[in-house]
Amino acid sequence: MKSATGIKTDNIVTFPQDETGPPMKGAEALVAALEREGVEVVFAYPGGASLELHQALVHSKKIRTILPRFEQGGGFMAHGYARATGKTGVCMATSGPGATNLITSIADAFMDSIPLVAITGQVHQWNIGKAAFQETDFFGMTLPVVKHSYLVLDKDDLPKIVKEAFYLANSGRPGPVIIDIPKDVQQEIFEPVFPGSVNIRGYQSSPRASDEELLPILGLIEKSKQPVLYTGGGIISGKAHEELQAFAEITGLPVTTTLMGVGSFPESHPQSLRWFGMHGTVAGNFAVYESDLLIVAGARFDDRITGLVSKFAPNATIVHIDIDKSEHQKNKPVKYPIHSDIKYAFGRLAELAKANGFNRPDLSKWSAQLKEWQEENPFSYEKNRHILPQEAIEILYEETGGEAIVTTGVGQHQMWAAQFYKFHRSRSFISSLGLGTMGFGLPAAIGAKVACPDQTVVDIDGDGSFLMNVQELATSFVEKIPVKVILMNNQHLGMVMQWEDMLYDGVRGQTILGDANNIGTPDNLEALYPNFVSMVESFGCKARQVVKREDLRGAIREMLDYDGTYVLELVVPYTEHVLPMIQQGKSAKEILTHSEV
Q: Which amino acids are annotated catalytic?
A: 71, 133-134, 183, 495
Contact between 444 and 470 (Cβ < 8 Å) = no
Question: Rounded to whole angstroms, how far apart are CA atoms 116 and 14?
Answer: 19
Burial status of residue 241 (CB atoms within 10 A of its CB: 0-12, 13-18, 19 or more) = buried
**CB contact burial 512-522 (16+ within 10 A = b; e otherwise):** bbbeeeebbbb
Question: What count of residues does the chain have?
Answer: 597
Amino acid at 336: Y
> Which ranges in 102-152 belong to alpha helices (H)?
103-111, 138-142
- Cβ distance 296 to 330 under 8 Å? no
- Provide CB contacts within 8 A for 244, sequence distance 6+: 229, 231, 235, 255, 264, 265, 297, 346
What CA–CA distances, in Å, run from 596 to 339, 446, 502? Answer: 43, 39, 7
Q: Radius of gyration of the chain from Cα atoms? A: 25
Measure the N-to-C terminal CA separation of the chain; round to a whole number of Å: 69
d(CA 290, CA 287): 5
Distance CA 346, CA 344 (A): 6
Helix (H) or strand (E) holding 444: helix 441-451
DSSP class per residue in 264-327: SS-TTSTTEEEE-STTS-HHHHHHHHH-SEEEEES----HHHHSSGGGSSTT-EEEEEES-GGG
- Bridge partners (DSSP) listed for residue 44: 92
Question: In this structure, which amino acid lies at residue 222?
Answer: E
Burial of 419 (0-12, 13-18, 19+ CB in 10 A): buried
Residues 32, 192: Cα–Cα separation, whole Å: 10
What does the CA dihedral 357, 358, 362, 367 come to, rounded to 10 degrees?
-140
CA–CA separation, 479 vs 481, rounded Å? 6
d(CA 264, CA 83): 13
